[in-house]
Amino acid sequence: MYEIENPGITQGLLISLLLLLVVVLFSSRAIAAPAKGQAPSGAKASQTAPVAGDFVGQEVCATCHEEVAKGFSSNPHTKLAEMHGKTGVTCEACHGPGKAHVDGGGDITKIFNPAKATAKEVDARCLSCHKGQHANFERTAHGENNVSCVSCHSIHAGEDKEQLLKIAEPRLCFECHTDIKPQFNMPFHHKVEEGLMKCSDCHDPHGTFNQKNLRSSSQMDAVCTKCHSETAGPFVYEHNVVKTEGCTACHFPHGGPNPRLLNRANVNTICLQCHSPSPNFTTSQPLGPAHNQAVQYQACTICHTSVHGSNVSPVFFNSN
């Protein structure tokens, strides 16, 4: 039988071959991978990042778009354009590099025009800067229904200069929400038409994690108690419906025919929606002669005045 005279040489040869194999493997991967910052060979030209030579500067844009350039001096975006050595928001930050547009004699196909783009393209362009403030926009009713940023905002010709809105609230909102406008003409309503409130005081058009884009927390009454602080509590004895169903269980949010925006003309009717005999409902029932609901007896709130919560009475009697 053949014997290996020096097993150490064979072991060293195997190790050398393994090291060589590892080097070859990593070298092949490095050759196949594109250089850092270089687009893959199969990538489209539109997906590659623009280079510095593709930009012409806002001064060149102003030679043709003089009126727009003049108005931009009072635009909120100008503040960003003046930062970081004037590398902030300029014409080309939103419309893309302009060299091809200029070289083409003003070819409109060589520049990004929000008025001609799809809603998703416009949103992507705006959210590239505003993603931090409006991270949830794409999941809102506005985003999902292709209501793009330029549906409400006009960067160069907005009526509302602070928020760059095409027209001021509430008229802007009423252009789409026509079913809500008549509610503010009811006898009792929040003072939106009078200019004392705005839709965006209660709703965030760019999206929240609550229904109807309400500016609220998980506590259902938070958007209301911002103004109606006397109902906020915390109370020793809480009225559970306020915490579970929110203020709209009893009140119209925009406007209605009844005082205090109550959603029923008779206060007792509101109370008896919950506080009435029912085999399927376990809430305490109004019993005894004092709770005779005949017309000659007064409303529930004559006695139970602290209906939003109380610090002294579990049945919400007057806490004064």
Q: Per the domain annotation, does 11 fall within a domain?
A: no
CB under 8 Å, gap of 24 or more: what pairs does 296-305 form? 299/266, 299/267, 299/268, 300/267, 300/268, 300/271, 301/267, 304/271
Check whether residue 95 and residue 188 sit in a common domain: no
Q: Per the domain annotation, does 137 fall within a domain?
A: no
Q: Per the domain annotation, does 123 fall within a domain?
A: no
Integer angstrom CA distances of residue 271 from 20, 195, 225, 299, 304: 84, 33, 21, 10, 11
Check whether residue 190 and residue 295 sit in a common domain: yes
Q: Per the domain annotation, does 225 fall within a domain?
A: yes
Please report which confidence band the pLDDT of residue 38 belongs to, taking 50, 70 and 90 as the band edges: very low
The total number of structural domains in the chain stands at: 2
Boundaries of domain holding 230: 181-310
Q: Which of 85, 113, 141 is the last residue of a domain?
A: 113
Q: Per the domain annotation, does 78 fall within a domain?
A: yes
Q: Per the domain annotation, does 241 fall within a domain?
A: yes
Check whether residue 107 and residue 188 sit in a common domain: no
Q: Per the domain annotation, does 298 fall within a domain?
A: yes
Q: Per the domain annotation, does 41 fall within a domain?
A: no
Please report which confidence band the pLDDT of residue 182 belongs to, taking 50, 70 and 90 as the band edges: very high
Contact call for residues 220 and 243 (beta carbons, < 8 A): yes
Check whether residue 189 and residue 300 sit in a common domain: yes
More confident call, 49 vs 65: 65
Residue 220, amino acid? M
Please report which confidence band the pLDDT of residue 41 belongs to, taking 50, 70 and 90 as the band edges: very low
Please report which confidence band the pLDDT of residue 34 belongs to, taking 50, 70 and 90 as the band edges: very low
Point out the least confidently predicted range of 58-72, 121-135, 281-295. Answer: 281-295
Check whether residue 87 and residue 190 sit in a common domain: no
